[in-house]
Structure 1
Amino acid sequence: MVFHILGVVIILLVSASPSGRADPAPVQYSAINCRKHTAVLTDFGAVGDGKTLNTKAFETAVANLSQFAADGGAQLIVPAGKWLTGSFNLTSHFTLFLHKDAVILGSQVNMEDWPLVAPLPSFGTAADGSTGARHASLLFGANLTDVVITGNNGTIDGQGAKWWDDFKNKKLKDARPFLVEIQSTDQLQISNVTFTNSPMWNVHPVYCSNVVIQGVTILAPVEVPNTDGINPDSCTNIRIEDCYIASGDDCIAVKSGIDQYGIKVGKPTKQLAIRRVTCVSPDSAVVALGSEMSGGIQDVRIEDVTAINCQSGIRIKTAVGRGGYVKDIFARRMTMSGMEKVFWMSGAYKSHADGGFDPNALPVVHNINYRDVVAQNVTVSAILDGLEKAHFTGICISNVTLNLGPAARELQWNCTNVSGTTSRVTPKPCDELPEKAGDCPFPEDKLPIDDVVLKSCSTA
């Protein structure tokens, strides 16, 4: 095969791994777009021994492959090996493909390998609330089109232990990095890759449209805070499917900016489908809506979810000062085991970006629908806590069986400043949600992202 690199024609018959083995045979994979041009990371001097820093090799590879954006795009193959690197940027019409025995390792050489970047406009501070800058994610991109991060289950390992220790011991001046952050990009795919040991959030698409995340495995120690799995943030038209997430925070956290900053930017997250996700998160939610929701969250469809030993199922988090809205939320066919709280809505979430929020900016929470839920070993069925001046309305819960565990509390439903209905729910719900015959709705129309059909591509 002929590869066009730096204007030179290179005939690549075989690429040797660091152990001397030949790279695997060409791999077929699915992607939003296939690429005309191909290169291997080792073409740019990378060494996969787990010790050599390859940031320059990644940067050079992406820079040279970017010249093919208008000529069918390019793919960079990461072969078997352990490829140590600092942060690097992706480009448009580009695929990063990790072979099954490839591991991209986040550098621990020095802090400069994770350069500082400004806080997001819709956050006003770093995502962990620190007022300083934040370290760039390991894989980063902004203002791009048609980006694919995929593989046959290769691994991206953030080697986050030092970051976790420094955060715990308050040694960090600036916020921890994520593993992947892609900003302001149309057509983004992240699939068939394992993410592990992220310093903070794992996968963060922000201000993006037409996003496909599927077949992803995310592994974080469940005792480490803020290691969220997938955080779609001010994005439109997204599907998250067939993922396994074990996390020290929310498995999926849907966001759209915080307080006055999120209100000003005004970019909602909407048209989001979450399907066939398995979550383990003893200290957080399977799916969280907020707490950063000031740009709005609307039309979220969650179905066929498995939760194991989680703090909560679907949690809505907001507060006075957030403004924005969470509305038109639909969930069905959820199976849970070992649940501390099944349904949880919080109107008094305490964190704020800073003291400049508007105390008159009240969030709207409306048209929240849960149906066809079974849970075992439940401690509390529901805590639904709206705001005195902004009740949570239009709550519907139907066909739900919650089997209590040995630590079950006497008060199973704690409802304040909420209204809605229930149907065929056990244990008996609170008086604020009276019985009404019929099932809660779930939209049967397709979202636009469901019209995106992945193509069959090859690493050859």
Structure 2
Amino acid sequence: MLLIHGVAHSPLSVYIHCSKAFLATWQAACSDQSRPVMLVPGRRTFLLSQVTFQGPCKSPITIQLEGNIVAPNGIWTKKPVDLLAFHAVDGLTVDGNGEIDGRGAIWWDCYNNKKRCGTRPILLGFSLCNDLTVRGIHLKDSAEKHMTLFQCSQVIVDSVSITAPADSPNTDGITVAWSNNTYISSCSIQTGDDCVSILSYTKNVTVTQSTCGPGHGISVGSLGRFETAKVEQITVSNCTFVGTMTGVRIKSWQSHAPLIYGVINQGGKGYAKGFLFESLNMTEVQNPIVIDQFYCPQRNCHTEPGGVAISNAKFIDIQGTSSEQEAIQLMCSQSVHCHGIYLSNVKLTWAKHTAPANAAILNAHGTTDGVVVPGIQFSNSL
């Protein structure tokens, strides 16, 4: 076992400039052929900034995170970096009961009130990491996203907790992009943005036995803004949503082109297909079920033809309450309709109201089976 060295080891201390010690220990672990364990000891807090653990390594590595890691308590970078990053490390396990704290409050204040800090650090980033397991750790108060998976394959994220205030900007819990075969289970995510966001060029993602809220829900997208979208085989099952903006959502830039640097981009292209949303419980979620092909948060978009084709989405056994009357939104574009939408055993009521919840449907084609409340009136077939 390799212990973080190069710093004092008195308990309950905060250490300054620990990055070099972490990197030196990593180099020893990465060159070890006997499946080393790198221990971040408990009852200690380590101050780090922009540390990248680079692979490939000579054997699988386990990082046992029992102590805590904190970011500098200030605006410490102007670059798009990760506080802690792993690049091209196969067979990596990050395990333990320790916490990584991004100390994000000063960044959120800078972004919200001073109109600066548009580029903020991500807390924990993995890129080109295959056969990755992240288990048991706690992530807290990232300046922006908490965990990102980019071009990773065969990933397990289990029993991870993520917390940030409900009003913290863009503090997504877990973002998956350009990756495949990702399994997220038994996680608790409370943030100011998507609990889990699934982006383009991603296939075979499962989110199960997890809780979400506060936050924006579990979202696929936004798709098609800058590139052709390719997303398929997404499952969200046995999850609980409490007080979120949406429950499960597929959102794309289809039919809108953002005005960027004075140039009108084309509408989104590509596809998103093969969704199963099953056995979900909603408690006072604003809009529990959403398909939105008109996504444009800045409201500066120009309508364009074309778009991301959304198809084969199943919503089964979804129960609970919405905080807004419109519990279901299936809003698809005129140029690229949604097809293969299926709802079965869905019962959503408007919380604290005697009036029923309702659904908004536009250019969506599909079927229902069994009880579906609010009722769905699909568009006529083409």
Q: TM-score by structure 2 length?
A: 0.87
Matched letter for residue 388 of structure 1: Q
CA 1:193/1:433 → structure 2, altered by over 3 Å: closer, same or farther? farther
Q: CA deviation at 1:358?
A: 11
Q: 2:51 aligns with which of 68, 85, 88?
A: 88
Separation of aligned partners in 2, 1:405 and 1:195: 32
Separation of aligned partners in 1, 2:337 and 2:351: 31
Q: Which runs of structure 2 are paired with 1:272-351 in the superposition (5 Å)?
A: 272-282=205-215, 284-285=216-217, 287-292=218-223, 294-320=228-254, 321-350=267-296
Separation of aligned partners in 2, 1:242 and 1:177: 26
Matched letter for residue 209 of structure 2: R
Q: CA RMSD in A?
A: 2.4
Greater strand percent: which structure? Answer: 2
CA 1:89/1:273 → structure 2, altered by over 3 Å: closer, same or farther? same
Does the 8 Å contact 2:363/2:379 carry over to 1?
no
Separation of aligned partners in 1, 2:73 and 2:374: 53
1:365 aligns with 2:310: yes
Per-residue Cα deviation, 1:398-436 (whole angstroms, up to 9, x for no partner): 0111122125876711111111111223434232179xx
SS of equivalent to 2:245: strand
CA 1:422/1:110 → structure 2, altered by over 3 Å: closer, same or farther? closer
Matched residues, percent identical?
A: 24
Q: Which runs of structure 2 are paired with 1:401-420 in the superposition (5 Å)?
A: 401-406=347-352, 412-420=358-366
Q: CA deviation at 1:170?
A: 4.0
Matched letter for residue 394 of structure 1: G
Partner of 1:455: none
Q: 2:73 aligns with which of 102, 108, 125?
A: 108
Partner of 2:85: 140
SS of equivalent to 1:296: strand
Matched letter for residue 63 of structure 1: Q
Does the 8 Å contact 2:111/2:117 carry over to 1?
no
Matched letter for residue 312 of structure 1: T
Separation of aligned partners in 1, 2:327 and 2:369: 15
Matched letter for residue 147 of structure 1: L
Separation of aligned partners in 1, 2:150 and 2:36: 24
Q: CA deviation at 1:361?
A: 4.8
CA 1:408/1:200 → structure 2, altered by over 3 Å: closer, same or farther? farther
Per-residue Cα deviation, 1:151-193 (whole angstroms, up to 9, x for no partner): 1x21111111111111112453551111111112211111100
Separation of aligned partners in 2, 1:197 and 1:86: 15
SS of equivalent to 2:82: coil
Q: CA deviation at 1:378?
A: 4.5
Matched letter for residue 54 of structure 1: C
Separation of aligned partners in 1, 2:8 and 2:378: 62
Partner of 1:429: 375
Q: TM-score by structure 1 length?
A: 0.73
Matched letter for residue 337 of structure 1: T
Q: Which runs of structure 2 are paired with 1:377-396 in the superposition (5 Å)?
A: 377-379=322-324, 380-396=326-342
CA 1:222/1:211 → structure 2, altered by over 3 Å: closer, same or farther? same
SS of equivalent to 1:349: coil
1:60 aligns with 2:24: yes
Partner of 2:261: none
CA 1:351/1:413 → structure 2, altered by over 3 Å: closer, same or farther? closer
Does the 8 Å contact 2:221/2:250 carry over to 1?
yes
Partner of 2:262: none
Partner of 1:221: 165
1:269 aligns with 2:202: yes
**Structure 1: unaligned runs, 5 residues or longer:** 1-37, 117-133, 257-267, 435-460
